[in-house]
Chains A and B, each alone.
Chain A
């Protein structure tokens, strides 16, 4: 996927106000199937996969023993003991090999990337496009199967934009026709630049920027992804850290159009830190960003960002930046 097909702002606007399409085939995906699959996921991932039934999807994470985020992951529960695990593309090898290492003989793990394409249809009009092309619309975090021109498809009501829509999995053989059909139905191709501004407006973290293997979900404001009702790798470290955070991911806005970019220094009344993601919000028309601040700021603290030698005032806020 390129940074843009024509214009980041136009592609962003299409997703917010109409419908856009992303080729997200760079995402990792592998199947875990067989008796013992559920137990494997329960141990490897910090959210509890048993909380969802077959036909549902879940946002979760793989942690290391120190509680650091090795990856944030979407899992599609296809059947009782059949899962599609979707790590970030860059972390595929690490996550897949970890599953292979811990899998019992009854579980098989298959790389799905080479045989498939993943298209994300996102936007307020996504349901119309999905209905007209696939004859079905999966609900939010629901997984459904269907077919398109004789090819099996699986679609989940997930995405990374905050809009309604689905991610659709199809064999490579049917992918080009599906792309054409979605385009004909009105989906505007959109690319990485818009994907980044869209996810940032929702405050969704991006691994490698706002998350990494030295950052725990508690520090990243993702405690809601941690399910304490089961044992998982990294749990002991998280328990020790609860209530003793030395840094925290903080979201902020700036008034002007100057962009608080990744790497810029941040100062609060009591601490300092670094911007991990920042951009101009096309919807809000001002700067938005996230930064790790140490120690975590208290109520009402002010924040400023050094933008190329100037101190620019920011306001600490909660995410999403955009109501959806």
Chain B
């Protein structure tokens, strides 16, 4: 399983990548593998204010439906429109073309509780 070194991970299997106050997020390789074939992703609208820990997106596979939680509070500035018709990108490229949204964070310290790759690898294994 692939867990890039430069990302940080939440206990619910979201990953984040920060660039200044812009936080890009998606779900991890572990999560996509556990869900199986993903057939539907519902993302929040661009402009929506979200609160850390809020269930703000949904992922459906042929097996189940799961909530995805905001890793940080802020405003959604971008959402991956490609997932509307090709949600399988989350399976094939969870850290690349399968990204979910970008959030402009109001308080980056909220990310302090996330795991680095070593800690996450332990929980995922």
**Which A residues have a C-beta under 8 Å from some C-beta of B?**
3-4, 7-10, 193, 197, 256-259, 261, 279-280, 282, 308
Residues of A close to B60: CB separation below 8 A: 257-259, 280
Closest Cβ of chain A: how far from B59's Cβ, in Å?
11
Beyond A3-B63, A258-B42, A280-B40: 5 further Cβ-contacts under 8 Å?
A8-B37, A9-B39, A256-B40, A257-B87, A259-B60
> Cβ of B62 and Cβ of A193 under 8 Å apart?
yes
Q: How far is the CB of B39 from chain A (nearest CB, A)?
A: 4
Q: Does B36 contact A (CB under 8 A)?
A: yes
Q: Are B65 and A259 in contact (CB under 8 A)?
A: yes
B58 sits at the interface (CB 8 A): yes
Within the complex, the shortest CB–CB distance from A166 to chain B, in Å, comes to: 26
Q: How many Å from the CB of A207 to the closest CB on chain B? A: 20
B58, A193: Cβ atoms closer than 8 Å: no
Top 8 closest pairs, chain A to chain B, by CB: A257-B40, A280-B39, A9-B37, A8-B62, A8-B37, A259-B60, A7-B37, A193-B62
Cross-chain contact B62 with A9 (CB below 8 angstroms): yes
Chain B positions 33-69 with a Cβ under 8 Å from a chain A Cβ: 36-37, 39-40, 42, 58, 60-63, 65
Interface size class of B (residues with CB under 8 A): 10 to 19
| Sample (10) of A-B pairs whose CB atoms are under 8 Å apart | A8-B37, A193-B63, A256-B40, A257-B87, A258-B40, A259-B39, A259-B65, A279-B62, A280-B62, A282-B39
Chain A's closest residue to B87 (CB) is A257
Determine the chain A residues whose CB is within 8 A of the CB of B63 once the complex forms.
3-4, 8, 193
Query: Could you tell me the distance between the alpha carbons of A193 and B37 in the complex, rounded to whole angstroms?
Result: 10
List A contacts of B39 (CB < 8 A). Answer: 9, 257, 259, 280, 282
- Complex Cα distance A193/B63, Å? 7
Residues of A within 8 Å of B62, CB to CB, are 8-9, 193, 197, 279-280, 282
Beta-carbon contacts under 8 Å, B72-97 to A = 87-88
Binary interface profile of B, 11-45, with partner A (CB < 8 Å = 1, else 0)?
00000000000000000000000001101101000
A323 to B63, CA, bound (A): 24
B36 proximity list for chain A (CB < 8 A):
3-4, 7-8, 193
